[in-house]
Amino acid sequence: MIRNLLFVAAGGAIGSVLRYLISTNLHKAYPNFSPYGTFTVNMIGCLLIGLLMGWIDTQKLINPQLQLFLVAGFCGSFTTFSTFAHEANLMLFQQKPLQTLLYVGLSVTVGLGLAYLGYKLTKG
């Protein structure tokens, strides 16, 4: 059990640092649309988890510890849906209902679509 926790923690450390770097740099590059970094990271994470789960289901090439590292650790800390919810609420509090709807709608539909695409791409 401790060994599994260490795999999750190691993946989580890498995922969270990468999320921070990507989000910070995108927020600096596009300051007029503050959730751009979060949106980008969430969409990359959705595609990545779809790809990983597809490979795991079809190829059986990933051992259980690597799966914990990549899926629970890396992807779990890389994606930021708690930040997503917070930013959507902030937009609502700032009385930006159309921007909020666009952000939430695109995040959910594109994210689900990319996770589906990632999974299907690994099915051959």
Q: Is 62 left (phi over 0), alpha (psi -120 to 50) or beta?
A: beta
Per-residue pLDDT tens digits for 99-118: 999 999 999 999 999 999 99
pLDDT greater at residue 45 or residue 124: 45
Which two tokens mark 3?
């060994």
6 pLDDT band (50/70/90 cuts)? very high
The alpha carbon torsion through 115, 66, 9, 113 (nearest 10 deg) reads 0
Spatial CB neighbours of 68, under 8 Å, sequence gap ≥ 6: 4, 7, 8, 11
pTM: predicted TM-score of the whole model, two decimal places: 0.80
How far, in Å, CA of 111 to CA of 87, rounded? 17
Checking if the pLDDT of 33 tops 80, the result is no
